[in-house]
Structure 1
Amino acid sequence: MEERLAYIEGAEQPIAMHPKKFALWLFIVSVVMIFAAMTSAFIVRQGEGNWLDYDLPSILWVTSGIILLSSASMHWAYLSAKNDRISHLKIALTITTALGLVFLVGQWFSWVALVERDVYFVGNPAGSFMYVLTGLHAAHLISGVIFLIIVLISSFRYKIHSKRMNSMEMCATYWHFLGGLWIYLFMFLLLNH
């Protein structure tokens, strides 16, 4: 009996993760799979012919810089929350939210630039993929901005600080993921045009 008790006492604790964080990671994995499938389909379809190349709108360089800046401001927000600098947290989250909105406006202008070059959603498979990839990313970014606004409101209610970091950590993870996803998509489009 003593041997059995000693064994149970020495048992390791399982790795625990907050259920919401686990759900977020499952969601991120599913988004990665969707974009991996889309970029794979892009390459396969490009090889089949009937593919009209076009120049990428130059505003995509600007939006890429904006998303990188927003990732830096999100990290500032995370560090501010971790160190209980609530005024800095509010400023950093506001900046991140504003940059997210500016990114979305920039994406809209990239579509306007495509239309000016006679690249439409229908008719050219290359154009169709461009609209689908950037539109799908924009839809996820809208959800990220909504998440940012929720966390920003929580910060004004003093519900985010060093002892309550769960929503801040999840928001930062998702935002950095969206930024990384955009950089991947932008590099993919640059290399395949």
Structure 2
Amino acid sequence: MTIGLVFLTLMMAVIVWWLFRQTIHVQPWQAQALDLTGHEAVPRPPARTALWVFLAVATSLFVLFVSAYAMRLGLSDWSPLPRPRLLVLNTALLVGASLAMQWTVHAARRGQGDDVRRGLLASGLLTGGFLAGQLTVWKQLDDAGFFVASSAAAAFFYMLTAVHGLHVLGGLVAWLRALLRAWRSPDAGAIRLGVELCATYWHYLLAVWVVLYALLVSDAFGMAICSAAPL
């Protein structure tokens, strides 16, 4: 179990580091990086810094929850949940949303406003499908008699998926703002930074979900919450 926790923590750290590297190498303000003399660079946009501060705080929150789960798992009364098959589809939807958001970034860099709007719509619809799928999983477990207070495994399942879902909902607020700006402005370059920030956040949501999914269903790490028969 300890080895599994260490591995998942390292995997999360590598993914976040990769996202950070991708972000610092993408500079949408670079075209305006020189002043009239052509020598001084414009500072990094505050929105990008704020996003990474938020991601650091969110990562700390998820690490605390996973650590609490790892400690609780060691007690003798642990009783795993059945494995909802729908989690596979939900994961595929979130992967699709992340890919659509990255495609939108490329469209914004090329100045293709119509593609930006289409990409944002696709990503939003896929993300909405992910949330709907998660709610359906909750209903399936509830109908099967697995409530929040029924066991420690159920409590952690609902807590981890709920916290992740709240972060997804928060991302949809930023997504809606970017979509409205894309619809109002014919200039795709004007919303390029907002689209790139949304893409970074979506990739982060996917990275977190990959780790959570491994905790939920993978017996290989010795930490699966849903290790009983499929639901």
TM-score by length of 2: 0.74
Shift of 1:20: 1.4
Give structure 1 stretches of 5+ with no counterpart: 1-12
Matches within 5 A, 1:44-83: 44-83=71-110
Shift of 1:125: 0.6
Superposed CA deviations along residues 53-84 of structure 1, whole A, max 9, x for unmatched, are 12221111000000001111101111101101
1:123 corresponds in structure 2 to: 150
Establish whether residue 17 from structure 1 lines up as the match of residue 44 from structure 2.
yes
1:136 corresponds in structure 2 to: 163
Contact 1:71/1:175 (CA < 8 Å) preserved in 2? yes
Q: Which is further off, 157-166 or 97-106?
A: 157-166
**Letter paired with 1:183:** V
**Partner of 1:165: helix, strand, or coil?**
helix
Q: In structure 2, how many angstroms separate the alpha carbons of the residues matched to 1:133 and 1:159?
A: 40
Q: How many residues align?
A: 181
Q: Which is further off, 89-98 or 159-168?
A: 159-168
Matches within 5 A, 1:1-193: 16-158=43-185, 161-162=188-189, 164-191=191-218, 192-193=223-224
Structure showing greater Rg = 1
Shift of 1:164: 4.6
Give structure 2 stretches of 5+ with no counterpart: 1-39, 225-231
Q: In structure 1, how many angstroms separate the alpha carbons of the residues matched to 2:188 and 2:53?
A: 26
Shift of 1:14: 9.3
Q: CA distance change for structure 1 residues 181 and 15 in 2, over 3 Å: closer, same or farther?
A: farther
Give the RMSD, CA atoms, in angstroms. Answer: 1.7
Superposed CA deviations along residues 24-52 of structure 1, whole A, max 9, x for unmatched, are 10100111111111111111001022211
Q: CA distance change for structure 1 residues 160 and 181 in 2, over 3 Å: closer, same or farther?
A: farther
Contact 2:182/2:191 (CA < 8 Å) preserved in 1? no
